[in-house]
Structure 1
Amino acid sequence: MKRSELAVFDAEDVRDLLDYPSCIGVVREAMKALSRGETRQLLRTMIHMGEGRTFAQMPGALSDDGMFGAKMISVFAEPDNPGVRRHRGLVTMFEPVEGKPVCVADAEEITHIRTAAATAVATQALARSDSRVLLLMGTGGQVHSHLQAMPLVRDFERILIWGRDERKVGAVIEDWSSRLPVEPAGEAEAAVGEADVICTLTGARSPILLGEWLQPGTHVNIVGSSGPGPVEVDSALVAVSRFIADSRASALDAAAEFLVARAAGLVGDDHIVAEIGEVLLGLVPGRRNDREITAYKSLGHAVQDLAAAAHIYTSHTKRNSI
Structure 2
Amino acid sequence: MLVLSETDLRQLLPPVECIPVMRSALADLARGEVHQPVQRPVLIPPSAAGLIAAMPAYTATPSAAFGLKAVCVFPGNPAAGLDAHQGAVLLFSGTTGEPLAILNASTVTELRTPAVTAVATDLLARPDAAELVVVGAGVQAVAHARALAGVRPFRRIRLVARDAARTAAACARLAPELDVPVEAASSLADAVATADVVVTATTSKTPLLDRSWLRPGTHVNAVGSSIPSTREIDTATMAAATLFADAASSMAVETGDYLFAAAETAIEIKASIGDVLAGTASGRTSADELTLFKSVGLAVEDLYAARHAYNLAGSRGIGTRITL
Asked if TM exceeds 0.5, the reply is: yes
* Alignment CA distance shift 1:176-1:267 (3 Å): same
Deviation at 1:147, TM superposition (A): 2.1
- Which residue is equivalent to 1:87? 85
Q: 2:172 aligns to what?
A: 174
Q: Please report the RMSD computed on the Cα atoms of aligned residues, expressed in angstroms.
A: 1.8
Name 1:297's counterpart in structure 2.
294
Match of 2:322 in 1: none
Whole-Å separation in 1 of the counterparts to 2:301 and 2:122: 17
User: 1:3 matched to which residue of 2?
Assistant: none
Task: Select the residue among 308, 311, 314 that pairs with 1:314.
Answer: 311
What residue is the counterpart of 1:223 in the other structure?
223
**1:250-297 CA deviation, whole Å, 9 max, x = no partner?**
111112111111101x224xx111000001112111100000000000
Cα offset, 1:79, TM superposition: 6.5
2:219 partner letter = H
Q: Which residue of 2 aligns with 1:19?
A: 14
1:135 partnered with 2:140? no
* Equivalent in the alignment of 2:57: 60
SS at match of 1:317: helix
Q: Is the 8 A contact 1:69 1:93 kept in 2?
A: yes
Corresponding position of 2:214: 214
Mapping 1:275-286, distance limit 5 Å: 275-286=272-283
> What is residue 48 of structure 1 aligned with on the other side?
44
Partner of 2:321: none
Paired with 1:245 and 1:82, the residues of 2 have a C-alpha distance of 31
Q: Percent identity?
A: 38
Alignment correspondent of 1:116: 114
Q: Does 1:241 align with 2:241?
A: yes
* Distance in 2 between residues matched to 1:231 and 1:52, nearest whole Å: 19
Does the aligned pair in 1 maintain the 2:276–2:282 contact within 8 Å? yes
Tell me the distance in 1 between the aligned counterparts of 2:169 and 2:175: 10
Q: Which amino acid in the other structure matches residue 290 of structure 1? A: A
Q: For residue 247 of structure 2, what is the amino acid of its counterpart?
A: S
- Distance in 2 between the 1:212 and 1:52 partners? 35
Which amino acid is 1:267 matched to?
A: A
Measure the CA separation in 2 of the matches of 1:107 and 1:97.
24
Which stretch of structure 1 is more off in the superposition, 219-228 or 205-214?
Answer: 205-214
Q: CA deviation at 1:75?
A: 1.2
- The separation in 2 between residues aligned to 1:235 and 1:156, in whole angstroms, is 28
Question: SS of 2:215's equivalent?
Answer: coil
Q: Do the aligned residues in 1 keep the contact of 2:146 with 2:174 (CA within 8 Å)?
A: no
Aligned letter for 1:183? E
Q: After superposition, what is the alpha-carbon deviation per residue over 1:89-130, rounded to whole angstroms, capped at 9, x for unaligned?
A: 111011122221111111000000000101100000000000
DSSP 3-state at the match of 1:152: coil
Report the Cα distance in structure 2 between the residues aligned to 1:249 and 1:79, rounded to whole angstroms: 29
Q: Which residue is equivalent to 2:102?
A: 104
- Distance (Å, rounded) in 1 between the aligned partners of 2:54 and 2:317: 31
Instruction: Provide the C-alpha distance between the structure 2 equivalents of 1:136 and 1:194, rounded to a whole number of angstroms.
Output: 12
Once residues 257 and 79 of structure 1 are traced to their aligned partners in structure 2, the CA distance between those partners, rounded to angstroms, is: 22
2:74 is paired with a residue whose SS is strand
Q: TM-score, normalised by structure 1?
A: 0.93
Unaligned runs of 5+ in 1: 1-5
Tell me which moved more, 48-57 or 211-220: 48-57
Unaligned runs of 5+ in 2: 319-324
In the alignment of these two chains, the number of paired residues is 313
Q: How far off is 1:70 after superposition?
A: 0.4
Cα-to-partner distance string for 1:185-232 (whole Å, 9 max, x where unaligned)? 221111111100000000011111111111000000000001101111
